[in-house]
């Protein structure tokens, strides 16, 4: 047992931290927030050509680096910490995983190298509910010979307005629950796909609505066999959930650092407010939640590695994802709320960065399932 | 990162599990799941006999170096030992203060003579120790010790006067290690000595404290001209604080994983109860049970990080700094959850005058978890100061 980053993993983490500290400054975040795209294409290309992060966990046979989920999580944690505005979560933690898990060899061979080169992709599955499983899929398909005709709507599609490729989950007309789920992959400009940006309170990440109207997809677009993708979808979502939890743990670190620094420099009643126990104890609780969150995320990352490589602990994936996400979701928002309070009036301003984290924390809390949702998933296994 | 234990370690797991299965039988079977926190006063003689059984098998002091008679287990194997011990329901260790605190302190700071005199009794499970740190005026402010030690030149012995409190198992122990002031003019952590004191002597009086559970595991210990030999001081006079605190920075909490197995046993009981009485259908209770389950899982992951990590300078890593606050609060919450699942039945005792069931005992005893060994409030001060570099408390 060695439940700590290896030296190589520490290097990946530290490199990510120093790169993002320079690249994802407050000014850069705010500029990306104000743009139509929601991220800087230049920075995205630099990440691709200088850092190879899009290639991290893609197997070498498809041109990737062949590293694991622990390395991915080490990078994602830093992205959350520096609030990087990018389609990374959508492209790598959702679409790439979908291709790795459910894609045919042709699909992987064709698309993964493009993602490594900087094309973007995302996953559309949720028809607009707070369910984060096959139950959320409302769009449907019917078969017409070898092709499928898809109709329906999606919400909460990360970077859905700009992604080059879409992975689409749809159900066979009339099916319910986990039955009849299929995954498709296509370019986002295919006729029959209409995409619209959803303005978001958390402007550091873009979401879109997608409408499919008689979208015709050929057999080559189907991922695996028709109607059998529910299990794959659940695995994809669990992996994405772990990635998001890693971002949350990273965000918690930054908001703690910012806040502790602020309280040390802020003087009232003739002394630094960091010396008051009312402040110290809040900060101590924030650090506790941050460390605990990190422990949950790292464990889940190890399990994700097993899930992707059919390792011995692969069956723990759903539980590990729910443990990480349920803890990190409440903890990040709680910490961000405390941070705002500890900043006092300036925490309420647009100028200070606290609100960026506060909003990201709330948006991330609910995306892919909030704490209540994930606890109930755990309770179901434990109690029913 | 690697979660699995090596095949050699797994073989070791099988060995200790088999030993426990073979030996925790017959007269010892009644001790299963007994003698833990809140139950430490139960079966003292039988549990002392169990300590000797452990010693015969070479299962006391498993983390001590072999040169001092220990088993010299690696961190991983110690983890496995504590896990299997708790999983088997083996009883709370009567010898844990000698095994985990007194012995390691003597190994690190004691003279050769002290090691020769005291280690064998700990190893053989025949001599038991208690810890004399807290006093009525030295709780959270532990350095405010008033107990005095004076070297009597005529007899050549140290003469100890003062009072200790919250001394677990004092009435069952042969020895107590005591911090006492060797320099009467000194203040705080300066001028203290670390003494090894025999309990069975006229100058030592033990008085049990009746707790909110109606039982007594903690005691007051009074020293009225109690004596120990001139060479029963560990380190020099004035070095007592260094000796008392010496191991804390390096103690990585191996036994915590065993503690978690005991927590798992308690949680299993709570889950079974909720299924039995229908509370498991209540959406709020479901959330709280899942939260407890998740909290315990993460406690384990956090310990694994503590054990694997290394701050490099012997100081506590951040995940270790938060550990006491985390587990104590989790455990206290579990006690409350157990009562809320029982509902009105929570108030009904097993028997008069005050026989608590296990969950009632859990509920009441866990209130002490967030107080002893550094209250939650002291823990938060430590985390803020050492973990976040925030200003230290004013010490007038």
Q: Are residues A352 and A330 in the same domain?
A: yes
Q: What are phi and psi of A144, to 5 degrees?
A: -130, 90
On whether the CB atoms of residues A176 and A187 are closer than 8 A, the answer is no
d(CA A119, CA A140): 27
Contact A9 B1 (CB under 8 A): yes
Q: Does B311 touch chain A (CB under 8 A)?
A: no
Q: Tell which of A91, A119, A147 closes a domain.
A: A119
Q: Mean pLDDT of residues grouped by 10 in chain B (396 residues)?
A: 89 97 97 88 95 97 95 90 92 93 94 98 97 93 94 96 96 96 93 97 97 94 98 96 76 71 93 98 98 97 84 66 94 98 98 96 96 93 96 83
A194 is a domain residue:
yes
A274 is a domain residue:
yes
Q: How many domains does chain A have?
A: 3
Q: Are residues A101 and A147 in the same domain?
A: no
The pTM of this model reads 0.95
Domain that holds residue A115: 7-119
pLDDT attached to residue B316: 62
Q: Are residues A298 and A335 in the same domain?
A: yes
Q: Does B339 touch chain A (CB under 8 A)?
A: no
Number of H helices, E strands in chain B: 14, 8
A1 is a domain residue:
no
Q: What are phi and psi of A214, to 5 degrees?
A: 50, 45
On whether the CB atoms of residues A368 and A240 are closer than 8 A, the answer is yes
Q: Are residues A318 and A365 in the same domain?
A: yes
A2 is a domain residue:
no
- Which tokens go with A352? 């200070």
Q: Does B8 touch chain A (CB under 8 A)?
A: no
Instruction: Locate all alpha helices (DSSP H) within B72-168, ordered by sequence.
Output: 75-87, 96-97, 103-109, 112-123
- In chain A, residues with a C-beta closer than 8 Å to the C-beta of B8 are none
- Which tokens go with A373? 């949702």
Q: Are residues A200 and A126 in the same domain?
A: yes
| Look-up of token digits 């029963």 | B232
Residues 23-62 of B with CB under 8 A from A: none
Least CB-CB distance to A260: which of B309, B322, B388?
B388
Q: Can you give the CATH number for the domain in which A180 is found?
A: 2.40.110.10
On whether the CB atoms of residues B221 and B243 are closer than 8 A, the answer is no
Q: Tell which of A189, A223, A257 closes a domain.
A: A223
Q: What does each C-alpha distance from B138 to A308, B130, B180 come to in angstroms?
A: 55, 17, 12
Assign domain B256-388 to a CATH class: mainly alpha
d(CA A194, CA A296): 38
Whether B129-238 and B7-94 are alike in CATH topology: the answer is: no
- Which tokens go with B334? 């579990």
On whether the CB atoms of residues B256 and B327 are closer than 8 A, the answer is yes
Residuewise pLDDT in 10s, chain A (384 residues): 788 999 999 999 999 999 999 999 999 999 999 999 999 999 999 999 999 999 999 999 999 999 999 999 999 999 999 999 999 999 999 999 999 999 999 999 999 999 999 999 999 999 999 999 999 999 999 999 989 999 999 999 999 999 999 999 999 999 999 999 999 999 999 999 999 999 999 999 999 999 999 999 999 999 999 999 999 999 999 999 999 999 999 999 999 999 999 999 999 999 999 999 999 999 999 999 999 999 999 999 999 999 999 999 999 999 999 999 999 999 999 999 999 999 999 999 999 999 999 999 999 999 999 999 999 999 999 999
Q: Are residues A255 and A375 in the same domain?
A: yes
Least CB-CB distance to A280: which of B271, B305, B380?
B380
Contact A5 B1 (CB under 8 A): yes
Q: Are residues A331 and A362 in the same domain?
A: yes
B307 to chain A: nearest residue by CA?
A3
A145 is a domain residue:
yes
Q: What are phi and psi of B35, to 5 degrees?
A: 80, 10
b/e sequence A133-147, b meaning 16+ C-beta within 10 Å: bbbbbbbbbeeeeee
Contact B326 A280 (CB under 8 A): no
Q: Which of B220, B251, B269, B385 is catalytic?
A: B251
Tell me the torsion sign for CA atoms A30, A35, A38, A44. Answer: negative
A303 is a domain residue:
yes
Antiparallel, parallel or unpaired: β B157-165 and B219-229:
antiparallel
Q: A271 has which bridge partners?
A: A268
Q: Are residues A242 and A337 in the same domain?
A: yes
Question: Which of B294, B316, B325, B387 to probe the A interface (max A CBs under 10 A)?
Answer: B294
Q: Which of B300, B299, B314 is closest to B252 using CA atoms?
A: B314
Least CB-CB distance to B380: which of A275, A285, A312?
A285
Domain ranges of chain B: 7-94, 129-238, 256-388
d(CA B162, CA B156): 20
pLDDT attached to residue B315: 57
Q: Are residues A68 and A84 in the same domain?
A: yes
Q: Which of A79, A85, A86, A115 is closest to A100 using CA atoms?
A: A115
Q: Tell which of A188, A206, A223 closes a domain.
A: A223
SS3 A343: helix
Give the distance from CA B306 to its chain's centroid.
18
A60 is a domain residue:
yes
Contact A379 B1 (CB under 8 A): no
Q: Are residues A247 and A344 in the same domain?
A: yes
pLDDT attached to residue B36: 85
Q: What are phi and psi of A2, to 5 degrees?
A: -145, 85
Q: Are residues A134 and A53 in the same domain?
A: no
Q: Does B278 touch chain A (CB under 8 A)?
A: no
Q: Are residues A291 and A307 in the same domain?
A: yes
DSSP per residue, A307-330: HHTT-TTGGGHHHHHHHHHHHHHH
**Which option is the CATH number for B129-238: 2.40.110.10, 2.10.109.10, 2.40.30.10, 3.40.50.620?**
2.40.110.10
Q: Can you give the CATH number for the domain in which A82 is found?
A: 1.10.540.10
Question: Is ipTM over 0.85?
Answer: yes
Residue B183, Cβ neighbours under 10 Å: how many?
14
Contact A372 B297 (CB under 8 A): no
Active site residue B251: yes
CATH architecture of B7-94: Orthogonal Bundle (1.10)
């Amino acid at each position: 047992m060695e439940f700590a980053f290896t030296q190589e993993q520490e290097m990946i983490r530290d490199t990510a931290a120093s790169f993002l500290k320079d690249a994802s400054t407050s000014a850069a975040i705010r500029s990306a927030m104000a743009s139509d795209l929601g991220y800087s294409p230049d920075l995205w290309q630099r990440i691709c050509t200088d850092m190879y992060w899009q290639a991290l966990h893609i197997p070498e046979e498809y041109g990737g680096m062949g590293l694991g989920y622990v390395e991915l999580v080490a990078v994602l944690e830093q992205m959350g910490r520096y609030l990087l505005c990018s389609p990374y979560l959508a492209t790598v933690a959702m679409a790439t995983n979908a291709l790795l898990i459910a894609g045919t060899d042709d699909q992987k061979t064709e698309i993964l190298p493009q993602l490594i080169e900087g094309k973007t992709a995302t996953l559309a599955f949720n028809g607009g509910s707070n369910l984060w499983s096959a139950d959320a899929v409302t769009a449907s398909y019917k078969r017409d010979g070898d092709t499928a005709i898809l109709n329906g709507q999606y919400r909460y599609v990360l970077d859905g307005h700009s992604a080059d490729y879409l992975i689409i989950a749809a159900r066979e007309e009339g099916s319910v629950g986990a039955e009849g789920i299929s995954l498709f992959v296509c370019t986002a400009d295919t006729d029959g796909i209409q995409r619209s940006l959803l303005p978001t309170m958390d402007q550091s990440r873009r979401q879109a609505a997608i409408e499919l109207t008689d979208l015709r997809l050929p057999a080559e677009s189907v991922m695996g066999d028709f109607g059998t993708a529910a299990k794959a979808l659940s695995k994809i979502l669990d992996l994405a959930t772990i990635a998001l939890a890693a971002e949350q743990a990273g965000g918690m670190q930054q908001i703690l650092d910012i806040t502790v620094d602020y309280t040390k420099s802020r003087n009232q009643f003739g002394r630094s407010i960091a010396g008051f126990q009312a402040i110290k104890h809040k900060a101590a609780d924030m650090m506790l939640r941050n460390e605990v969150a990190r422990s949950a995320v790292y464990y889940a990352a190890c399990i994700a590695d097993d899930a992707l490589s059919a390792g011995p602990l692969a069956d723990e994936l759903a539980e590990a994802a729910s443990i990480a996400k349920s803890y990190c979701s409440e903890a990040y928002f709680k910490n961000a709320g405390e941070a705002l309070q500890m900043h006092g009036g300036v925490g309420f301003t647009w100028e200070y960065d606290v609100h960026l984290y506060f909003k990201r924390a709330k948006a991330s809390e609910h995306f892919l399932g909030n704490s209540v949702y994930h606890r109930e998933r755990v309770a179901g296994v434990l109690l029913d | 990162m690697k979660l699995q234990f090596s095949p050699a370690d797994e073989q070791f797991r099988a060995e200790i599990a088999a030993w426990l299965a073979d030996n925790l039988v017959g007269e010892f079977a009644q001790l299963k799941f007994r003698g833990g926190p809140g139950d430490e006063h139960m079966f003292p003689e039988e549990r002392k006999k169990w300590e000797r059984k452990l010693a015969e098998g070479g299962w006391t002091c498993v983390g001590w170096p072999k040169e001092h008679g220990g088993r010299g287990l690696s961190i991983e194997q110690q983890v496995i030992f504590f896990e299997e011990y708790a999983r088997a329901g083996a009883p709370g260790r009567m010898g844990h203060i000698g095994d985990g605190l007194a012995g390691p302190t003597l190994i690190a700071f004691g003279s050769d003579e002290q090691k020769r005199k005291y280690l064998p009794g700990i190893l053989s499970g025949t001599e038991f120790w208690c810890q004399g740190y807290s006093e009525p005026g030295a709780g959270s402010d532990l350095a405010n010790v008033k107990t005095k030690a004076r070297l009597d030149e005529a007899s050549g012995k140290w003469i100890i006067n003062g009072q200790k409190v919250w001394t677990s198992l004092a009435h069952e122990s042969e020895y107590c290690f005591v911090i006492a002031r060797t320099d009467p003019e000194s203040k705080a952590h300066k001028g203290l000595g670390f003494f090894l004191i025999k309990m069975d002597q006229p100058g030592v009086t033990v008085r049990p404290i009746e707790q909110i559970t109606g039982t007594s595991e903690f005691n007051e210990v009074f020293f009225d001209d109690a004596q120990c030999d001139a060479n029963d001081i560990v380190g020099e006079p004035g070095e007592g604080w260094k000796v008392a605190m010496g191991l804390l920075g390096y103690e990585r909490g191996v036994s915590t994983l065993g503690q978690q197995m005991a927590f798992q046993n308690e949680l299993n009981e709570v889950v079974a109860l909720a299924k039995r009485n229908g509370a498991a259908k209540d959406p709020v209770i479901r959330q709280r049970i899942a939260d407890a389950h998740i909290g315990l899982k993460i406690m384990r992951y956090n310990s694994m990080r503590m054990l694997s990590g290394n701050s490099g300078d012997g100081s506590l890593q951040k995940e270790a700094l938060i550990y006491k606050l985390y587990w104590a609060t989790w455990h206290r919450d579990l006690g409350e959850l157990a009562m809320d699942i029982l509902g009105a039945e929570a108030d009904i005792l097993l028997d008069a005058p005050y026989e608590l069931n296990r969950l009632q005992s859990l509920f009441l005893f866990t209130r002490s978890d967030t107080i002893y060994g550094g209250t939650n409030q002291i823990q938060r001060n430590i985390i803020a100061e050492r973990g976040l570099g925030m200003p230290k408390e004013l010490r007038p």
